[in-house]
Structure formats: structure tokens, C-alpha cells
Amino acid sequence: MRAMPKRRIVALLAGLLLALNVVLAIAQSSTALPLALGTKLLGPNMVRAEILWKSGGVQHDYLLDNGRIRNLGSASLTLVEKDGKVVPVAVAADAEVTFRGSPVPLSALRRGMRATTYRDGNAPAFKVEAFPR
């Protein structure tokens, strides 16, 4: 059996590396699909969502509500969702409240603004994201 020339070995290795790059690119693009899907499902067209999440043996029941602010209290707000459902949401004292991505107190939000609330089960919301009307 003859020894393979160096040129052929280099070409074979280059071909293998190219094939590996193609496989990795395909694998990377397939893992990007859930992120795009998540962005679409949880974006501005979302009405409400319930996400069951189990981590470290503890199950969480995250409830996300999205709508227009109808009423504001010192520790609560009421949303009217796109399908007309009215949802009162208690807000935790230490909740992360943002308007256009910047931290604000809950009292800075106004009736008519769009908002998304995040809570775990029946607990008060731990996060409120607000956006302009």
C-alpha cells in the first residue's frame, strides 16, 4: 500500500474541517429557533401566558399578563388585556418596575400605558414592564 501524499492529506483535513463547520452552523441555527419562537410568543402580541418551570425540584407557575393599565394603586394595578379580560394584579413592594427599560417607581406608571406583569402563582408580581400608550 502506498503512502498518501501530503497534499492529499491536507485537502482531506480541510474537507473534514469544512464539513464540521457546516454541521456546527446547522446545529447553532436550530438552537436559535426556540429564542425566536419565545420572542414571538412573549412579544407585544401576547395576551397572557402561563409557564410551568421546574428547577432544582421546585415547580414554579409563572403567570404573565399583558394589557393596558386601567387602574393603579399603591401596591397593585388592573390590566385590561387584548381580549377584554380585566385582571387585577398585586405588585410586591420590592418588584422590579421599568418604563421603556429604565427603573421607575410603581407610582410613575399611568392609566392607558401598556404593561406586562410577571408573577409566580398567586404571589404578587415580582416584575412590571411598562411601555408608552
Give per-residue pLDDT as tens, 49-108: 898 988 889 999 999 999 999 999 999 999 999 999 999 999 999 999 999 999 999 999
Q: Which residues of 74-102 are buried (b: 16+ CB within 10 A; e: fewer)?
A: eeebbbeeeeeeebebebbeebebbbeee
**Looking at the predicted structure, is the pLDDT value of residue 117 above 80?**
yes
Which superfamily is assigned to 48-131 in CATH? Copper binding periplasmic protein CusF (2.40.50.320)
Kindly report the pTM of this predicted structure. Answer: 0.72
| pLDDT tens digit sequence for 20-65 | 566 666 655 544 446 677 777 777 788 998 989 888 899 999 999 9
The upper half-sphere exposure of residue 17, i.e. CA atoms within 13 Å in the direction of its Cβ, equals: 6
